[in-house]
């Protein structure tokens, strides 16, 4: 349960080209085609001080998603919705509030750069999301440690970052191509196609897929890695078993 004084804030930024990390953020993007790069930054909690420069930031987590523009424009809000739930572990209420605003912001930026002839192959955006609780600014170390512990516990309750049990992960049903419906096209964790379009000379072995008990389908490696940090389905928040 969140502290009555705790608020949840998010900030959206359009990144200039010089703000993109070429070595880390662009290294896996194909050299042809136009893409959107989303940098998701989650401060699980900020203890906000009344004194400038004394804010305490707890557990920063940064994730990156790259989406081809053509695919993005086909289903922008849906892709952003999936990205926020899988990337930041946000609940459905917060995601439903943020996703349309981020989609609208991206649309405005693209219209502006197109009008000004300043468009580039890679357009990057940063979304910062965090819970904020006022800090009493007490210099007593024991009291400050208690505030940090309380804020961390509160963030875990809000963002539900408990891992699922290994036995429940291993029990996920592996799916074959014939088990997939025509509407199941993308893994909502990596945002890549469940079944890739292979070219001549490429490895033609398809990635294994696994289905959650709630029926949502993902790449097996993606959902296994996800469940080892969060026991909730990225799409519907179905809860997998956790250790007591």
> Could you read off the pLDDT of 71-89 as tens digits, one per residue?
999 889 888 988 887 766 6
Question: Angle 101-9-13 (CA atoms, 0-180°, nearest 5)?
Answer: 55
Q: What is the pLDDT of residue 4?
A: 43
Residue 242 resides in a domain: no
Per-residue model confidence (pLDDT) at position 182: 65
Cα 217 from Cα 157, distance rounded (Å): 26
pLDDT band at 2 (very low <50, low <70, confident <90, very high): very low
Verify that 23 and 112 share a domain, yes or no.
Answer: yes
**Separation CA 177–CA 155 (nearest Å):** 39
> Using one digit for the tens of pLDDT, what is the confidence trace for 139-157?
554 555 555 455 445 554 5
Per residue in 184-224, pLDDT (tens digit) is 778 877 777 887 654 434 445 667 899 999 888 888 988 89
8 A C-beta contact, residue 63 and residue 74:
no
Enter the pTM of the model: 0.53
> Do 133 and 174 have their domain in common?
no
Would you say 215 and 209 are in contact if contact means Cβ atoms under 8 Å apart?
no
Angle 76-88/92-115 helices, nearest 10 degrees?
130
Which pLDDT score is estimated for 55?
61
The confidence score (pLDDT) of residue 97 equals: 85
Co-location of 68 and 115 in the same domain: yes
Question: Do both 74 and 143 map to the same domain?
Answer: yes
Residue 117 scores a pLDDT above 80: yes
Q: Note down the domain range covering 183.
A: 166-227
Q: What is the CATH number for 193?
A: 3.30.40.10
* Count of domains for the chain: 2
Indicate the Cα dihedral angle 237, 182, 83, 223, nearest 10°.
Answer: 60
Does residue 1 lie in a domain region?
A: no
Q: Among 118, 143, 159, give the residue marking a domain's end.
A: 159
């Amino acid at each position: 349960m969140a502290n009555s004084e705790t608020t949840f804030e998010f900030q959206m930024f359009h990144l200039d080209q010089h703000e993109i990390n070429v070595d880390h953020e662009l290294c896996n993007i194909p050299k042809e085609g136009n893409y959107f790069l989303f940098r998701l930054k989650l401060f699980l909690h900020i203890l906000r001080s009344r004194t400038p420069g004394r804010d305490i930031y707890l557990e920063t987590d940064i994730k990156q998603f790259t989406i081809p523009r053509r695919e993005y424009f086909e289903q922008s809000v849906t892709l952003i919705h999936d990205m926020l739930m899988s990337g930041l572990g946000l609940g459905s209420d917060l995601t439903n509030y943020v996703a349309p605003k981020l989609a609208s912001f991206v649309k405005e930026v693209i219209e502006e750069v197109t009008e000004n002839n300043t468009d580039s192959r890679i357009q990057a955006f940063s979304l910062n999301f965090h819970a904020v609780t006022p800090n009493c600014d007490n210099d007593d170390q024991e009291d400050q440690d208690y505030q940090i512990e309380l804020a961390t516990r509160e963030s875990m309750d809000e963002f539900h970052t408990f891992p699922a049990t290994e036995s429940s992960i291993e029990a996920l049903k592996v799916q074959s191509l014939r088990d997939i419906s025509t509407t199941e096209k993308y893994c909502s964790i990596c945002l890549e196609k469940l079944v890739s379009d292979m070219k001549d000379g490429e490895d033609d072995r398809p990635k294994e897929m696994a289905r959650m008990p709630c029926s949502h389908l993902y790449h097996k490696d993606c959902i296994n890695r996800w469940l080892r940090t969060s026991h909730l389905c990225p799409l519907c928040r179905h809860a997998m078993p956790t250790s007591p």
